Structure 1
Amino acid sequence: MPANRAQQTKTADRRRQAVELRIAGRSWQQIADQLEYSSKGAACTDVRRALEKAVEKLAIPLEAHRQLELDRLDAIQNALWDKVLDGDTKAIDTTLRLMDRRAKLLGLDAPQRHELTLEAIDAALADVEQQLAAARSEAAEAEGAEEEEG
């Protein structure tokens, strides 16, 4: 039997809170305890479901937007095509940029190769550590503010 509207709203709200807690760096056990899940696995499953649902909702609008952009590129290219055939170099350059943009939108270009060095990895790790420290600091400040309010 499907859940009623009130239960669906409650579930959606709990999932939203669980995602926010996970983003804030809380462990699965902390999320389970705070939101009264039966286990840390249940909390993890609920967050995964929430994220899957969000991705599903984004997929259709993204594809529609991509198609709109492709249609616009086609219209611009069609307007320039006679000038391209006449040898207008400005129209040719513009058309080549349009074709490049279309290839990027469709993922037609081969992936670019990047050389990965230990220095680059160390720099990326240092950046992630700084971001993590900042997020933890913000979470601690927010938690302290909640305790002061409570």
Structure 2
Amino acid sequence: MGRPDKAKRAAIARRRSDAIDLRLAGVDWLTIARKLAADPAINSDGVAYPQGYGIERYQKGQEPPTDEALIHAACRDVRKALDERRTELNADVDEMRQLEADRLDRLFFVAYKKAVRDQDLTAIDRTLRIMERRARLLGLDKPTKAELSGPGGGPVHVEHATADELDALIALTAPDAP
């Protein structure tokens, strides 16, 4: 069978995008599958959808896929398309993160030189702020552990509480509470 050519890949990408759009619009799986089916006999629009579900069977003149097979194909399509979008998004985020780290490196170099050369307290503060931002961006800081405890370090006993009561309790135990 091999890898589909560029035109087929584009048609498959379009089908997957259409499947996601339909699903987001609240359309049920079987309706999606029939709308995107290759065989006009089962396609809800009565047309042969390019690279639609069951294309191999349609091209061979075989019976169309069962409803269950169509639904499975539509679900698989949406899952694959979402995975591809997630992968692209993660790559974009990684690229942006690297760009921001490079910018911070350039700013750090300028501030660090001034801080060390002139012993300028403002430049030292700016250098530390850049270092803190870079550590947050790249996840270099160890996570802080937050623990809520009752009087004397014991457990907090709550049977019934309103959201306001819980907010007040949290505010009392926050590290920067008065």
Quick one: distance in 2 between partners of 1:78 and 1:40? 57
Quick one: distance in 1 between partners of 2:24 and 2:32? 11
Taking structure 1 as the reference length, the TM-score comes to 0.64
User: Of the candidates 100, 104, 107, which is equivalent to residue 69 of structure 1?
Assistant: 100
Structure with the larger helix share: 1
- 1:60-115 per-residue CA deviation (whole Å, 9 max, x = no partner) reads 343232222111111111111133234422212222221222122112342686x9
Aligned to 1:57: 88
Aligned to 1:139: none
Q: Which runs of 5+ in 1 are unaligned?
A: 121-150
Higher relative contact order (CA 8 A, sep 6+): 1
Aligned to 1:15: 16
**How large is the Cα RMSD of the aligned pairs?**
2.9
Taking structure 2 as the reference length, the TM-score comes to 0.55
Tell whether 2:70 aligns with 1:39.
Answer: yes
Q: Which runs of 5+ in 2 are unaligned?
A: 38-52, 54-68, 149-160, 165-178
Aligned-residue identity in percent = 42
For the pair shown, the structure with the greater C-alpha radius of gyration is 2
* Consecutive aligned runs of 4 or more in structure 1 exceeding 4 Å deviation: 117-120
Count residues in correspondence: 119
- 1:13-40 per-residue CA deviation (whole Å, 9 max, x = no partner) reads 1100011112222232332232224422
